[in-house]
Structure 1
Amino acid sequence: MVLQKQPIRAVVWGYGVVGATVNVTVQKEDSIFSHQITAVNEGISFGITGVWKVSFDPIGPGGPFSVIAEQKYSRVVDSIVLRDVYFGDIWLCGGQSNMEMTVLQVINASEELSVASRYPYIRLFQAGLEESSQELDDLASIAVQWSAPTAEILGNGNFTSFSAVCWLFGRYLYDKLQYPIGLVESCWGGTPIEAWSSNRVLNKCGLSFNVASDNQINDETGPHYPTVLWNAMIHPLRRMAIKGAIWYQGEANTAWHNAEYNCTFPAMIEDWRQAFHEGSGGASEIDFPFGFVQLSTYHHKVPDDTYPWIRWHQTADFGYAPNPKMRRTFMAVAMDLGDEKSPYGTIHPRYKQDVAYRLYLGAQAVAYRETAVVFQGPFPKGLQLKNCTELIIIYTQQLTVLEHSNDIFEVCCSPKWNSSSCKWVSAPIVNSSFNTLSLSVKDCRQKMMGVRYAWKEWPCELKKCPLYSKGYKLPAPPFMIQPVHD
């Protein structure tokens, strides 16, 4: 396994007899780090079992170590030894089926699986699919015990084990950092964010549920019900000291509590951070880095705006991350990765290498504070209206313009601003330069109240959106800005 390296203090916990003395020793060759604690009851109600927990002094990356837990009680000594333990960075990977897709399901799967054995210092762990109406103290089941990566584990069927996005993200990190990486997967296909959220999150966002009366979810049994996956698959991990988390979810909320996602997602992030910080005794940072994938595509050429709205709400309606409501977050834009030929359905694009690499760039910048890394696509920083017929958009970066699209930009033509009742009119790109675009708005016959980009479920073909960052191939994210004028 991998435990979290310095400067964070790794946490180990276990079960024992209440009142026993537990000695925990970390040992490597001539170096011995010793920790002695006493097992105490933390609310375990059965038998005479108690929970003990110990935080190690910060330990640098590397290994292997042995971790020995020795219990002494009434002249009886019991011990457990964990071997082949390394210290590095732990990343938690959560979400629904696009996070659940295995390496077997991605583009170039055979090639990806063939290199698994070259990464023995990446270790994998996967929580079992469980649900609970109450917060569990420990995982009810484990799908993959701590393991070194193998082609068998990474390619074990469809939507089973192990997450391709999680693995590829970890692999990019290892290639850069050259020290151990631990990947903890806890995800379940088809699940809404409410299932992964505590009651604290639901209450903060004004959501309440009654099994008997809520017809919207009465037929959504099992893992779709609010809090049940938080209770069974996230809360039990809270004692673990982690570096950060990545998340790929949102499809299940396109048609359920879509409008609330701009509250539930940021609130869930903050709640997870608080829970892991407290559960680890302050070891996990209170604002640990949190990366996420902005939704890709589903239906081609369908006039439905549920996907664009979720993409927007994933950023707390800012359009980019990090932002004032989502500190220390980073986003991988994926709307240009639509996969019409995916054998797993268009909702499951196979280009997970691109997703993972974009997340990796964000982690470099946000988690590892590499200031020179470009990890976001270009975003508007100013608008200018010229002669009422031309709109100039000034971007944060130099642009690569693949196409002067006629319809990917739209302007709101209306006496007043209302995003849902606007008459949205196409605004063709007529010119581009270093970091600016010019749009024709001559077809807007009323007051122009706003502009939006890529506000479609499937806005562009594979890796051919009109706008990317120059030299970095990062797609410009969708946005909606209002008002353009007073």
Structure 2
Amino acid sequence: MKKLFFTLFLLFSSFSLQAEIKVHQLFSKGAVLQRNQAVPVWGWAKPGSKISVSFAGQKESSQTNSTGKWMVTLKSMPASSDSRSMTISDGETTLSIDDILVGEVWLCSGQSNMDFGLGGVCRKPRNPKYQAITDFMNEEIKDINDTLFRQMTVRRELSPLNEKENIVGTWYPANQRFVKGFTAVGFNFGRELRKELNIPVGLIKCAWGGTRVEAWIPTAQYQSDNELKEYYDAEIAKLNQTLSTWDKEKVAAENKAKIEAHKIAAEKANVEGKKRPHYPRLQKNPDENNTLPSTLYNAMIAPLVPYAMKGAIWYQGEANAGFATDQYQKRFTKMIQGWRQAWDLPLDFYWCQLAQFKKPLLEPAEASTWVQIQYQQSQCMSLPNSGMAVLNDIGDAADIHPINKIDAGKRLAFWALNKSYKKEDVIHSGPTYKSHEVKANKVIITFDNTGSGLMTASKELHKAVQENSSPLKSFQICAADGAWQWAEAKIISSNQVEVSHAEISQPVEVRYAWASNPEGANLYNKEGLPTGLFKTEL
């Protein structure tokens, strides 16, 4: 009888779990829905159930499919700061989700410089010269209580072989309790939108430090290109081969033994007053590897589709400066295209170019892998609805995680305000290379995005750029024999620079800021935005 009762209990429990109506975690308390777009809402229930969703005077219905998934689509709504509830019912059970707003939703993704929390900016910096940034940021948030500015943080997950359906995460507001958990770049981006648009803003933080672009590319994109398919197939074949011989129980037992041995050794060290031993390195399952192709897309991005949003901001590339560097433009492009195809939307997509890092050059040199990534990032701006924030004046030679996330976020916001929200009075970009002409021993370079005109200027920490009368620096010029020299350069009009060298009579190419750390690069537009690295076309 006990066995029969236990069996019936399991069957009933299984049925109850299957029948329970659920909604995707994005639709949880405090959610921000995208304005002026159709808004899909989805979840799971017993197959064949009729589901109704009510919100803001709308009521939409749907029926679960054979796997129990349901989806309804709410009609486009204007922004609203009113805290409202959404109800979801299958006729027997009703869920109520409170405190939902309608505004602008942006995905914040990439690696550690996007994952970098606001709390990291607010802590005492390792280098005292950046203390002013920490002090400024702490002052900015000391009384913050913006209930209309919110973030959902997606928990880190891996899934190299299958797309997951849901996430773990919670919406929380920009207040004293939670604000330091905001992505620092995203916070400064979102705060500019809040100031300019005066409507709710929701950020979805979905980032993982040290990750390559390959892990964020949808599997379908790998299948769309022979070269990428070959790379993907080889990586997955290696994974499957390793999994086929992996003894999970044996590894678990070995890991447990290491932990027990460490515990004993640590206790002994405490008794003897010695230094505790390092925690042992445990074996992980082969699929617990964040470098595998598509693993982060499958686990962290795919489950977000098709949540309505305006676009994405991205800060990544450091991990690719040492891996398949020459493939970055192609793979980053495929990633953006893949995300847009998944959402079936022309998502606006803005990214940070890598900031300056490492020692400055004493003499002109060929592109480092860092420069190669920076250059390929700039070439991706040919994609529609895209843009890049140049950070070559706010980095840190000694730290791959520069603390100035203030200007990084603001510069991304300028792109969004100008391009996504059509605020033409907001200058979104620094000068960008347009064309050049060789005249005798001089190269005349013409720029786009010069705003009110070109200028030389300096940038100190997070403070406003200051115009000065210094000569232009960081220009390199190449002679016909292939020898590069530091060039003389001067502004000759509101959108042109003249570049030359006294000993080069036949210049063939010019480069600007062509270094991991282009110290002294000082060409800006009068709105205070810097010129990124470029080279003239041969």
Cα pair distance change 1:202/1:411, threshold 3 Å: farther
CA deviation after TM superposition for structure 1 residue 123, in Å: 1.7
Task: Map residues 390-469 of structure 1 onto 2, 5 A cutoff.
Answer: 390-396=442-448, 397=450, 398-402=453-457, 403-406=470-473, 408-414=474-480, 422-430=482-490, 432-444=492-504, 447-460=506-519, 465-469=521-525
Between structure 1 and structure 2, the one with the greater Rg is 2
Amino acid at match of 1:202: Y
Q: Does 1:130 align with 2:149?
A: no
The aligned runs of 1:7-156 (5 Å cut-off) are 7-27=36-56, 32-41=57-66, 44=67, 50-62=68-80, 63-72=82-91, 77-106=92-121, 107-108=133-134, 109-117=137-145, 119-142=146-169, 145-155=170-180
Measured against aligned partners, the alpha-carbon deviations of 1:416-470 in whole angstroms (never above 9, x if no partner) come to xxxxxx533221225644332222233336x533211101001125xxx310111
Matched, 1:351 2:366: no
Deviations 1:33-82 (A, max 9, x none): 111211113xx4xxxxx11111101121112211000113xxxx111100
Percent identity between the aligned chains? 29
CA shift, 1:85, in A, is 0.6
**Residue in 2 that maps onto 1:370:** 423
Q: For 1:360-418, what per-residue CA distance to the aligned partner results, in whole angstroms no more than 9, with x for missing partners?
A: 11001111122332111112333232332x22223332111133245x11123346xxx
Q: CA deviation at 1:176?
A: 0.8
Aligned to 1:281: none
Aligned-partner Cα distance in 1 for 2:406–2:399:
17
Instruction: Quickly say closer, same or farther: Cα 1:36–1:200, change in 2 above 3 A.
Output: closer
Give the alignment of 1:194-343 within 5 angstroms. Answer: 194-204=214-224, 206-207=227-228, 208-209=231-232, 210-211=234-235, 222-277=289-344, 286-301=345-360, 305-316=368-379, 321=381, 323=382, 326-340=383-397
Structure 1 contact 263–316 (Cα < 8 Å) conserved = no
Superposed CA offset, 1:244-303 (max 9, x none) = 1100000111111111111111111111011012xxxxxxxx212111101102212266
Say if 1:59 and 1:221 are closer, same or farther in 2 by CA, change over 3 A.
closer
Pick closer, same or farther for the CA change 1:164–1:24 going to 2, 3 Å.
same
Q: d(CA) in 2 for partners of 1:247 and 1:292?
A: 4
Structure 1 stretches of 4+ moved >4 Å: 211-215, 218-221, 430-433
C-alpha RMSD of matched pairs (Å): 2.4
Checking the alignment, whether the CA contact within 8 Å between 2:159 and 2:287 is kept in structure 1 is no
Give the superposition deviation at 1:214: 7.5
CA shift in 2, pair 1:431/1:212, >3 Å:
closer
Question: Following TM superposition, by how much is the alpha carbon of 1:203 offset from its aligned partner in structure 2, in angstroms?
Answer: 4.0
- The answer to whether 1:164 aligns with 2:176 is no
Measure, in 2, the Cα distance between the counterparts of 1:21 and 1:212. Answer: 40
Question: What is the DSSP-based 3-state SS (H/G/I as helix, E as strand, rest coil) of the residue aligned with 2:431?
Answer: coil
Distance 1:333 1:272, change over 3 A: same
- What TM-score do you get using the length of structure 2 for normalisation? 0.75
Deviations 1:9-48 (A, max 9, x none): 1121111111111111114xxxx2111211113xx4xxxx
- 1:400 alignment partner AA: M
Q: Is the 8 A contact 1:401 1:432 kept in 2?
A: no
Letter in structure 2 aligned against 1:67: M
**Maintained 8 Å contact 2:433/2:445:** yes
Q: Name the count of aligned residue pairs.
A: 427
Which residue matches 1:280? none
Unaligned runs of 5+ in 1: 45-49, 156-160, 278-285, 416-421
Distance 2:107 2:206 in 1: 7
**Aligned position for 1:419:** none
Change in CA separation of 1:115 and 1:260 when aligned onto 2, cut-off 3 Å: farther
Give the helix-richer structure, 1 or 2.
2
Secondary structure, in 3 states, of the residue corresponding to 2:508? Answer: strand
1:212 Cα offset (Å): 8.5
**In structure 1, C-alpha distance between the alignment counterparts of 2:471 and 2:323, rounded to whole Å:** 35
* In structure 2, distance between residues paired with 1:453 and 1:329: 23
Work out the CA distance in 1 between the residues paired with 2:456 and 2:167. 51
